[in-house]
Amino acid sequence: MSLNINILICLFLCGEVPGIQSFEQVPWLPCQLVDESVTFNDEGHAETEYQHRDAGLQFGHPGDSALNPNKITFLVTGSKVDMRKYIEGVMAHQLRCEIRRYNTEGLQMRWPGLGAQEHDIWFTCTIRHTDGVFIITSFLRHTPATPTPGQAHYRNWAAIADRAALTTSTVMLVLTRSPSVRVGLVKQQSLHCQFDVDHKAADLTVEWRLQRHGERTTLFSHSSHSGQTKGSGVPLNAIGRGNASLTLPLTKQSSEGTYVCLVSVPPLFGSHDITLHIMEPPRVSLNVDSTIFLVDRGEQKVVCEAEGYYPLDVEMEWFREPSGGGGGLLPEKLDTVLYSSHRHHQDGTYSLSAFFLLHAFLHNSGSKYFCRVSHSSQRMPIRKSFTLIVTEYDSWNTALWLFFGFGAILVMVAILFVMLPRLSSARKANQVGTSSYLTCVSSFIRSIYGIRMVYVIQRNAYLQILSLQQ
Ligand SMILES: *[C@@H]1O[C@H](CO)[C@@H](O)[C@H](O)[C@H]1NC(C)=O
């Protein structure tokens, strides 16, 4: 029963692409043949016309009949170099395959591998993962049934019939599993490049170049023929195992660029471009806590700071989400936001802040404010928020203060006055005691109410309060 269901699903979803199967199990992978036909105009200039044709890779043995006889079949037969080995577990529908003719630039030579002929012609087959996980380029050697001298040269390319089946053998492949790299600053990074050749002791050259701002530098090169090595980053024993991965020095801003891994065994020349982008995400912070309390009509400067990001482009916005969310009200973008200028730090990163003056009104109490920072290093914007609580203007508190504060002072002063007659009677005997008593009362008032009482004791023992200061 479940088998039937699977087949039904495949009829609807897959069409002719065997999408549910992983690549090793697929005997036939649809491919586009980007065919070129070269014509020469009256002045003898070559004009190339490209034609996209339906084709496919069929994995099998020489003499196998074509599984899709109405398409062009590239029958890939037993070879030591098997592209399927590098694509294990990948679903066939995640692969894009493209075959092109390969021009040896006039270099006509017998390939050193087993079974090669003098007049073999060449194709490249590039298989890329749709999510950019890898790119693998294989070189397919085909021995034409009727050998013609110089057939590998584009001037002499023979036409391929619509239902042709070409028996080929994979003689070499070059792949990268890091076609596009995003990495932070001061990081260890290695760029993947791997190759395989169908014969030992090949005349091999491995090279890494860096292209940035229109400049090209060779970072590493090694030739097995001359034994010469220049530059560093690829261990020679790794090259012996088909591993040409380049280990970069700790990343810095200037590490950005396009790295080209080149592997050549004459007359074949394979390469992959690897783009490296430095990406450092911003650290986002606010100058306020997650809840801030303000009185009605109060103000507060609120700053959102994004620090330490790279590259420069960043988008910072402030939004207000009205209180009582769930009412379907959309956050509204604040238009009174000001920005600092970009600050450039020594490590190559940038900082920026976005701030506004928050005016608190009672009806905004409970509103949530959030700062949204979008940067290319992040799939989703970073959000930092706070909630505003607005309390009514503090008139009630002030009244209380006045009532209790000044009330108590009046009581104190009254007590003093009540005591004056006694002070007066004891004035001669006890002048010192009185003044220390007053000092004690005044410092009591001061410590409780924060009011400084300035007083003098007159000769006639009257107490004169000169001032009360808060
Ligand atoms: C290839 O060599 C690099 C060092 O250059 C190493 O880090 C990596 O693990 C090697 N990969 C394989 C598949 O051996």
Q: Which domain holds residue 313?
A: 283-391
Torsion of CA 397, 403, 404, 407, to 10 degrees: 160
The confidence score (pLDDT) of residue 7 equals 34
Does residue 375 sit in the same domain as residue 346? yes
Q: Name the residue type at position 278.
A: I
Does the beta carbon of 232 lie inside 6 Å of ligand 1? no
Q: Which two tokens stand for residue 245?
A: 């991965």
Does the beta carbon of 180 lie inside 6 Å of ligand 1? no
Question: Domain boundary residue among 114, 146, 176?
Answer: 176
Does residue 81 sit in the same domain as residue 221? no
| Ligand 1 pocket test, candidate residues 190, 192, 194, most atoms within 8 A of CB | 190
Total domains, the chain = 4
The confidence score (pLDDT) of residue 323 equals 76
Does residue 168 sit in the same domain as residue 30? yes
Does residue 26 sit in the same domain as residue 123? yes
| Ligand 1 pocket test, candidate residues 192, 241, 243, most atoms within 8 A of CB | 243
The pLDDT confidence band at residue 416, using thresholds 50, 70 and 90, is: confident
Does residue 445 sit in the same domain as residue 457? yes
Question: Domain boundary residue among 278, 303, 336?
Answer: 278
Does the beta carbon of 290 lie inside 6 Å of ligand 1? no
Does residue 410 sit in the same domain as residue 423? yes
Whole-number average pLDDT of the chain: 84
Question: Domain boundary residue among 222, 245, 278?
Answer: 278
- Give dist(CA 226, CA 204) in Å, integer: 10
Q: Is 343 exposed, middle or buried (0-12, 13-18, 19+ CB in 10 A)?
A: exposed
pLDDT at 160 over 70: yes
Does residue 305 sit in the same domain as residue 342? yes
In the reported structure, the alpha carbon of residue 156 is separated from the centroid of ligand 1 by a whole-number distance in angstroms of 41
pLDDT at 292 over 70: yes
Instruction: Name residues whose C-beta falls within 8 Å of residue 399's C-beta, 6 or more positions apart in sequence.
Output: none
pLDDT at 45 over 70: yes
pLDDT at 393 over 80: no
The stretch 161-175 carries a mean pLDDT of: 93
pLDDT tens digit string along 80-97? Answer: 898 988 888 888 889 999
In the reported structure, the alpha carbon of residue 245 is separated from the centroid of ligand 1 by a whole-number distance in angstroms of 6
Question: Is residue 208 a contact partner of residue 260, using CB atoms and an 8 Å limit?
Answer: yes
- Strand, coil or helix: 282: coil
Q: Which two tokens stand for residue 367?
A: 């509103």
User: For 389, phi and psi rounded to 5 degrees?
Assistant: -115, 125
- Give dist(CA 202, CA 225) in Å, integer: 8
The confidence score (pLDDT) of residue 312 equals 93
Q: Which two tokens stand for residue 380?
A: 């989703």
The confidence score (pLDDT) of residue 78 equals 74
* CATH number of the domain enclosing 379: 2.60.40.10
Higher pLDDT, 150 or 139: 139
Ligand 1, atom 10, lies closest to the CA of 243
Instruction: Name residues whose C-beta falls within 8 Å of residue 234's C-beta, 6 or more positions apart in sequence.
Output: 206, 208, 220, 222, 244, 245, 246, 247
Please compute, for residue 74, the number of CA atoms within 13 A of its CA located in the half-sphere on the CB side: 29
- Give dist(CA 85, CA 24) in Å, integer: 8
Name which of 45-59, 142-156, 261-275 the model is least confident about.
142-156
The number of the ligand 1 atom at minimal distance from the alpha carbon of 243 is: 1
pLDDT at 391 over 60: yes
In the reported structure, the alpha carbon of residue 111 is separated from the centroid of ligand 1 by a whole-number distance in angstroms of 28
Ligand 1, atom 11, lies closest to the CA of 243
The number of the ligand 1 atom at minimal distance from the alpha carbon of 246 is: 5
How far is CA 166 from each of CA 66, 169, 249, rounded to the nearest angstrom?
A: 10, 10, 45
Does residue 104 sit in the same domain as residue 135? yes
Ligand 1, atom 8, lies closest to the CA of 245
Does residue 384 sit in the same domain as residue 407? no
Question: Is residue 172 a contact partner of residue 270, using CB atoms and an 8 Å limit?
Answer: yes
User: For 366, phi and psi rounded to 5 degrees?
Assistant: 90, -10
- Give dist(CA 78, CA 436) in Å, integer: 112
Does residue 409 sit in the same domain as residue 436? yes
Does residue 159 sit in the same domain as residue 222? no
- Strand, coil or helix: 214: coil
Does residue 265 sit in the same domain as residue 184? yes
The pLDDT confidence band at residue 8, using thresholds 50, 70 and 90, is: very low
Question: Is residue 382 a contact partner of residue 282, using CB atoms and an 8 Å limit?
Answer: yes
The number of the ligand 1 atom at minimal distance from the alpha carbon of 233 is: 5
pLDDT at 394 over 50: yes
Query: Three-class SS string for 47-77?
Result: EEEEEEEEEEEEEECCCCCCCCCCCEEEEEE
CA 112 to chain centre: 44
In the reported structure, the alpha carbon of residue 263 is separated from the centroid of ligand 1 by a whole-number distance in angstroms of 16
In the reported structure, the alpha carbon of residue 248 is separated from the centroid of ligand 1 by a whole-number distance in angstroms of 13
Does the beta carbon of 176 lie inside 6 Å of ligand 1? no
Question: Is residue 185 a contact partner of residue 310, using CB atoms and an 8 Å limit?
Answer: yes
Ligand 1, atom 13, lies closest to the CA of 243
Give the pairing of strands 291-295 and 257-265.
Answer: unpaired
The number of the ligand 1 atom at minimal distance from the alpha carbon of 241 is: 14
User: Would you tell me how many other CB atoms lie within 10 Å of the CB of residue 240?
Assistant: 10
Does the beta carbon of 247 lie inside 6 Å of ligand 1? yes
Does the beta carbon of 177 lie inside 6 Å of ligand 1? no
The confidence score (pLDDT) of residue 328 equals 65
The confidence score (pLDDT) of residue 1 equals 34
- Give dist(CA 130, CA 122) in Å, integer: 25
Question: Is residue 434 a contact partner of residue 455, using CB atoms and an 8 Å limit?
Answer: no
Does the beta carbon of 233 lie inside 6 Å of ligand 1? no
Instruction: Name residues whose C-beta falls within 8 Å of residue 375's C-beta, 6 or more positions apart in sequence.
Output: 281, 282, 306, 309, 313, 314, 315, 381, 382
Ligand 1, atom 4, lies closest to the CA of 245
